[in-house]
C-alpha cells in the first residue's frame, strides 16, 4: 500500500495534492451521498420513515455542535468552557427574543464569545 502510494505520488508529480483531495477526501465522503440517492428510491416526501430519519439527522447535528464546543479546536480552545456555552446560550436567547431571528442569534452569540476571547487572551 505504502509503495503503491509512493509510486502514485511520484507519477502524479505536482498534481499529487489534488489526487489526495479526490482519493482520500472526496471519494470516502461522496459515496454516502450517492448511496442515499439509491436508498430513497420509492420513498415519498411524507413517508413515515422520513420522520425518523429527520430526527436522526437533527440529533446528529446537535451532537456535532455539542462536540465542537466540548472539544474545541485551535483558537476556540483559549475561550474558557463557561463562556463557550454562555455564548451559545446568549445566542439562543437572542434568537427567541428577536422573534426567531437567526441573524440576532448569531451576532449576539459572536459578540459574547469574542469579548470573552479578548478578555481571556488579554
Site for another protein in 43-72 (CB under 8 A): 43-45, 47, 50-72
Q: What one-character DSSP code corresponds to residue 101? A: -
Q: Can you tell me the distance from the alpha carbon of 93 to that of 90, in angstroms, rounded to the nearest whole number?
A: 5
Fill in the per-residue mask, 84 to 113: x = in contact with another protein (CB under 8 A), - = not in contact.
Answer: x--xx--xx--x----x-xx-xx--xx--x
Which of 7, 21, 81, 97 binds another protein (CB under 8 A)? It is 21
Q: Which of 3, 10, 13, 33 binds another protein (CB under 8 A)?
A: 33
CA–CA distance, 49 with 35 (Å, rounded to integer): 17
- The least distance separating another protein from the CB of residue 107, rounded to whole angstroms, comes to 9
Cα–Cα distance between 116 and 114 in angstroms, integer?
Answer: 5
Amino acid at each position: 500500500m505504502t509503495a503503491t502510494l509512493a509510486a502514485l505520488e511520484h507519477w502524479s508529480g505536482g498534481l499529487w495534492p489534488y489526487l489526495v483531495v479526490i482519493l482520500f477526501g472526496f471519494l470516502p465522503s461522496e459515496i454516502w451521498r450517492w448511496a442515499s440517492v439509491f436508498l430513497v428510491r420509492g420513498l415519498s416526501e411524507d413517508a413515515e420513515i422520513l420522520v425518523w430519519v429527520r430526527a436522526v439527522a437533527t440529533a446528529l447535528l446537535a451532537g456535532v455542535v455539542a462536540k465542537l464546543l466540548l472539544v474545541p479546536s485551535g483558537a476556540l480552545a483559549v475561550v474558557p468552557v463557561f463562556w463557550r456555552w454562555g455564548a451559545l446560550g446568549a445566542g439562543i436567547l437572542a434568537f427567541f427574543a428577536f422573534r426567531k431571528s437567526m441573524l440576532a442569534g448569531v451576532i449576539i452569540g459572536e459578540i459574547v464569545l469574542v469579548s470573552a476571547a479578548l478578555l481571556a487572551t488579554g
